Structure 1
Amino acid sequence: METAMEYGSIERELRIDASPEVVFEVLSSPEHIRDWWSAETAFEPIAGATGRLTWTDAETGRHDSAPFTVVAAEPPRLFSFRWTYDEKETEPEGAGPGNSLLVTFELVPEGGGTTVRFRESGYRERGWEAAVLEAHYNDHRQGWDFYLPRLVAAADRLAARR
């Protein structure tokens, strides 16, 4: 069993048979985000841009939504954003350490493809009680374990069409 001290970040390394340019497009384009993350969104992939990710349950029609703020967009090597914050609580300073989670995708060219270093951090900084921290961490871990392979498949499909 994990202890609360271990709920600091979720990290994964992915190998994608596509160039960093293609992978960056899949990570940062609303059209492609709909494909791999199943979320509707609209935003510009530039630092400081804000948007909203909205998932719809096909069976119930229920919507889940989360705001996000692009932290860095440096094609084709880095895309990061902060999310899962309460917009009312972050005014006027916006999303930052202590009120949101930070997701970072570092893209490293390797051979004819890309190694993606994924990291989501900021769990402990949120100040959640242990049970809440553990629940959020496990929910996100399971979510990323589902969605990151879909990112790989979406980038591979886009690369094959080019």
Structure 2
Amino acid sequence: MSYNIYHNLLIKASPKQVFDAVSQPEHLNNWWSLKSSGKPELNSEYNLNFTDKYNWYCKVSKVKVNASFHLKMTESDEDWLPTTFGFELEPKDNGTYLRFSHQNWPEINDHFKHSSFCWALLLNGLKNYLEKGVVIPFESRA
């Protein structure tokens, strides 16, 4: 059995702006990672660096420009390793309805609960980044 995290939110930005923010390293670094690299192409490798201790890798498992972007972890801590997370985007109300999922967690432990909470905070940061241009310093992010 596996467990999943889901969060949905409306962002007042175009699907292209949201897609770029969740798939382009220069944008990821403004709301999530310290530094990242990768290209939004199927099977492309992404490096998500948060610190020297948390320097993780994943591969693009699903991509449809301006509509869908998913990454499967390939190198991370044990709890995240079997997981895939992603973003489904739908135009709605002069913005984009984002459906976030982080699937295949092995158990509902403290790390799962903490990650769910952090994703909620980070996705709010993504919303503020796109709607208001707010970049929270890396050290102050979830």
Q: Give TM-score, length-normalised by structure 2.
A: 0.82
Give the aligned residue type for 1:23.
V
Q: Match of 1:117? A: 99
Q: Give a deviation string over 1:25-63, Cα, whole Å, max 9, x none.
A: 11111000000103311111111001211113xxxxx64
Give the aligned residue type for 1:156.
E
Distance in 2 (alpha carbons) for counterparts of 1:106 and 1:34: 20
Question: CA RMSD, aligned part only?
Answer: 2.3
Equivalent in 76, 99, 117 of residue 142 of structure 1: 117
**Secondary structure, counterpart of 2:115 in structure 1:** helix
Correspondence 1:75-154 to 2 at 5 A: 75-83=65-73, 85=75, 99-124=81-106, 133-154=108-129
C-alpha displacement at 1:145, in angstroms?
1.9
Equivalent in 18, 37, 40 of residue 42 of structure 1: 37
Distance in 1 (alpha carbons) for counterparts of 2:39 and 2:13: 22
Q: Give TM-score, length-normalised by structure 1.
A: 0.72
Greater strand percent: which structure? 2
**Higher Cα Rg, which structure:** 1
Segments of 5+ residues of structure 2 without an aligned counterpart are 134-142
Q: Match of 1:53? A: 48
Deviant stretches of 4+, over 4 Å: none
Identity of aligned residues (%): 26
Greater helix percent: which structure? 1
Equivalent in 28, 33, 41 of residue 23 of structure 2: 28
